[in-house]
Amino acid sequence: MARMPTDRVTAAKLAGAQLARFIKFVVRTSDIVAEPPNILDRLRTDHPCIVALWHGQFMMAGSYRPDVPVAAMVARHRDAELIGTTMESLGVELVRGAGSAGRKKDRGGASALRGALQCLAQGKSFVMTADVPPGPARRCGEGIITLARMSGRPIVPLAAATSRFKVLDTWSRMTINLPYSKLAFVYGDPIFVPRDASAQTLEMLRQKVERDLNAVTRRAYELAGADLSLATPRAADSSIPPARPGLALRTYRALTRTLAPLAPLALDHRARRGKEDAARRPERLGVASRPRPVGPLAWVHAASVGEFNAVLPLIERLVEVRPDLNVLVTTGTVTSAAIAASRLPDRSFHQYAPIDTPQTVRAFLDHWKPDLAVFTESDIWPNLVLATADRGAPMALVNARMSHRSSRRWRRRRRIAKQLFGRFNIVLAQNSQLARHFSLLGAPKTMNAGNLKVDAPAPPVDRLELARMQRLIGDRPLLVAASTHDGEELIVANAHRIIREHIPDLLTIIAPRHPSRGEQLTAELAADGFIIARRSTRTDPEPSTDIYLADTIGELGVFYSLGKVVFLGGSLVPHGGQNPIEAIRLGCAVMSGPHRQNFADIYGQLQNAGAVAEVRDAQELAVGALRLLRERPARESALRAAEGVLQEMGGALEKSLAALLPLLPPRSVPPPSAHEESAEMPADAPVEGLRRASS
């Protein structure tokens, strides 16, 4: 157990003793009702047994029991010391440890299982919560099933409820029972788990424990005359309405409403920097540039290029399996809009996302009236989320992720997080750890669906342009540095200089993440003595060219196909890295810097398989690139390992599709006709839309 200072140990023991006295006081002052009435005799008959409780509902568990020895599982962390001391004061023996809830970290589960088996063998009943912190709440874990199978002792569901109680805002809705109540205890039928049970039988019994424990909990609250929904996490019952917007969100709404008239000035500033499409500004103010198609409409929102590329296969599958469905896609960047225009399938179309003011969001939703809203990854705008939920449209967050820093920020603002994430019908996370994070932040239903980017196809390749570039470059060795960020281009250039001592005819292609930096980069690299050719000015590389600056949009497929050794940017600076999958799909061996937390899952597995080289500076980049350029077996081995990792990690696309389809309205009308789809917008629609947005 984590060591605690002596004063904290003493304080925990004193508080635990006081809490035990309080529990006894609740029992003494309450009217007790039990179901069945002979509950104590039943407990004696089944003793020693495994008493199952829901987390957050265990306060009264040790206060009403037959005179038999009892032990209980208590977590090792120091916050559980108060609970442990309380239970010891009530005469309950402790076994330290907890289940892992799918985490790799050992929380003492193995030693706790051994301790529990020993207690049962010694004739002690064992009390444990069926759900495992930090959730999902009210979902029976595998630990209690394993204990029953190995011990041969039955699981007995038990619940206690009082008519008066307070609830803490924790993942399990920790309930503090109050005195002078009606106190109800409900005991379920014993559940035996055969030692030789198959995996299918074990899962059926796990679900039975879950159902029976929910049933006795529901009955206990009925007998006590209490409202169970107040003590039930939304993760366990999505019919419970989400928390109402608090002061912070109401203040945000008021400020954005007040500042909305300044939005055109902000858009002007962004347009001057090349970050807005002035011709389509009305879309940013919520005014549609086309009519809403007839029939069901799914709205998919992606922040920018990376998110759009990840969700594109899902859009393609949606329109494939639902021929009556149209898909509205919104993004917020000029680059993503250009890519969407060329890559979206039939019956899907792009609009710019409205800026997050109540007026623009209202105009946007009034026009489009989506039947399903799908947000991608972590692009959460409060007005957009709240207003969409108020319209009653089902909402999903797909390919959901957040960085450690974002997760810490959201946890500090957990009340706001619950008011936002609690409005999503489902959150499809990239891995199980993220699913737990979103559950803790208030999402009523989370699922580890995997990373959609793993299932994304290779980026498009212009075959004519690829052939032309291959003729220009000939046999020159190539190093491609893709999606580089400010500060990385000079590191790549210095690596080029080192490699050139061994490979004099090396050509390095740098594709900056933000092509608008092309002119600035050309000047900086030329000043450092490099001969530069710049793609945006249609300057082709010549035999004397050192660096070819690919400052254009949507052409990474060509450059990945040209070179077989790629460094992915955003990773030598603390940006979070870039997606390695597109490069791997086109046959490239990948190098990356250490800052790649945005794709930690993928890079972690690639690293374990020896499929990616990590570099930290120009010298290491040069050494790694030189090895891959010179040694074909090493390059091919890394690529095979990477392709194997992607194959193992696949499947997110079909899981996500299966989760979204039930949220769509049933098919009831034929697909819209070509005439309906091409209907012209009334001439005064943009004017009316602007009027509504400004109001």
Which one is catalytic: 81, 283, 307, 377? Answer: 307
**Euclidean distance between the first and the last CA atom of the chain, given in angstroms as a whole number:** 60
Q: Nearest 5 degrees, angle CA 495-CA 496-CA 499?
A: 85
Residue 477 zone, left/alpha/beta (φ > 0; ψ -120 to 50; rest): beta
DSSP letters along 156-201, please?
A: EEEEEEESSEEE--STT--EEE-SSSEEEEEE---B---TT--HHH
Contact, 116 vs 40, CB < 8 A? no
Strand 326-331 and strand 297-301: the pairing is: parallel
Residue 695, SS3? coil
Nearest CA-CA partner of 287 in 386, 181, 361, 389 = 361
- CA 455 to CA 18: how far, in whole Å? 56
- CA 427 to CA 414: how far, in whole Å? 17
Cis preceding-peptide flag for 382 (omega within 30 of 0)? no
Contact, 170 vs 56, CB < 8 A? yes
- CA 309 to CA 455: how far, in whole Å? 10
Identify the sign of the CA torsion 55, 60, 65, 70. positive
Determine the distance from the C-alpha atom of residue 40 to the mean position of all C-alpha atoms in its chain, rounded to a whole number: 45
H or E element in which residue 397 lies: strand 395-400
Torsion on CA atoms 166, 169, 175, 177, rounded to nearest 10: -20
- CA 396 to CA 374: how far, in whole Å? 5
What backbone phi and psi angles, to 5 degrees, belong to 528? -90, 5
Q: What token pair was written down for 400?
A: 């959901």
Neighbours of 58 (CB within 10 A): 22
Active site residue 307: yes
* Enzyme catalytic residues: 307
